[in-house]
Amino acid sequence: MKAIVIKEFGAADKLEISEIEKPQISDDQVLIRVKAAGINPVDTKIRSGAHRSAKTLQLPAVLGKDVSGVIELTGKNVQGFKVGDAVFGCAAQTYAEYVAASPDLIVKKPENITFEEAAAVSLAALTAYQAIHEHLKIRSGQHVLVQSAAGGVGHLAVQLARIAGAVVSGTASGRNIGFIKSLGADQAIDYKNERFEEVVKDLDAVLDTMGGEILYRSIQCVKPGGTVVCLPSSTKDDPKAIQYAQERGVSLIWFMMEPKKEQLQEISDLLAAGQLKVSVEKVWPMESIVQAHQEIEAHGVRGKLVVRIA
């Protein structure tokens, strides 16, 4: 089968298409014929060798963690899925024509979304869901600021916070102001022309996707007793941020997303009902994966990028 692989760590041009063996499934797995795979920032960090998982990764390796496709084979212990089911979810090595997946990490694809949209959902939506519900614990009437609100996680977090009944402010570049308002943001802040900490104050919560100076300024916006979630693992345990949060009486949390089927099913139900929408800015063919990685590393992507496999 065809797969996108890296034979050494480095820049995007280390990605190449190769012929590799089709995966063999266990009795507790399904074989998915992949239609599309989501491209996530973590993929670029693994490819470059910067992510901690790269230390134990055996090369050559296939990247990718988001998948959508059709079940081609089921293990004898698998229940709830059959051959021909359209599914999406989390798996490993999804930049390939076939993927072995656990039925505990996939759900059936709603009929009203495409395979490309489904491929863009899992990691970003689960991260947003867990940030909003498990860590920020957003309740109706609270005011939350979402940084990079037009990004992969951000645009889903805006919608999930609105569904939870929050008042939502979001930062974005000028070209994306209308976009985040269309998602339901009550207030859109052009970060290139406005300092968000001068626009919003006494917030209940902030979801920060940047770290560093943006994180410090985010903490400044939150009232005592409020919470800031910071996503980039590379900024974890920043001593300046920790000290600043303690001084202001603000809870500061870094977390790693954990795939949970019940949450993935809830997200799928919201997609099916049209309450949640995933934005795919561009779908790349396998042959253009180098350009796709370069684009995501340049930042500024609205929503998600996806690679079409079949």
Q: Is 161 exposed, middle or buried (0-12, 13-18, 19+ CB in 10 A)?
A: buried
Residue 234 confidence (pLDDT): 82
**282 φ/ψ angles, rounded to the nearest 5 degrees:** -155, 140
pLDDT tens for each residue of 212-232: 999 999 999 999 999 999 998
230: its two tokens? 């910071």
Per-residue pLDDT, averaged over 178-206, amounts to: 96
pLDDT tens for each residue of 134-187: 999 999 999 999 999 999 999 999 999 999 999 999 999 999 999 999 999 999
Q: Is the pLDDT of residue 239 over 90?
A: yes
Per-residue pLDDT, averaged over 288-292, amounts to: 97
Domains, the chain, ranges and CATH? 2-121+278-308 (3.90.180.10), 124-254 (3.40.50.720)
Per-residue pLDDT, averaged over 269-279, amounts to: 98
Residue 300 confidence (pLDDT): 83
Residue 116, C-beta contacts closer than 8 angstroms, at least 6 positions apart: 35, 36, 68, 280, 283, 306, 308
Is the Cα dihedral 121, 122, 126, 128 positive or negative? negative
Q: Is the pLDDT of residue 235 over 90?
A: no
Residue 202 confidence (pLDDT): 96
Q: Is the pLDDT of residue 233 over 90?
A: no
Average pLDDT, the chain: 96
CA pair distance 4, 310, nearest whole angstrom: 13
pLDDT tens for each residue of 41-97: 999 999 999 988 888 999 999 999 999 999 999 999 999 999 999 999 999 999 999
Beta-bridge partners for 144 = 168, 205
The backbone region for 130, taken as left when phi is positive above 0, alpha when psi lies in -120 to 50, beta otherwise, is alpha
Percent of the chain with pLDDT over 70: 100
Q: Is the pLDDT of residue 299 over 90?
A: no
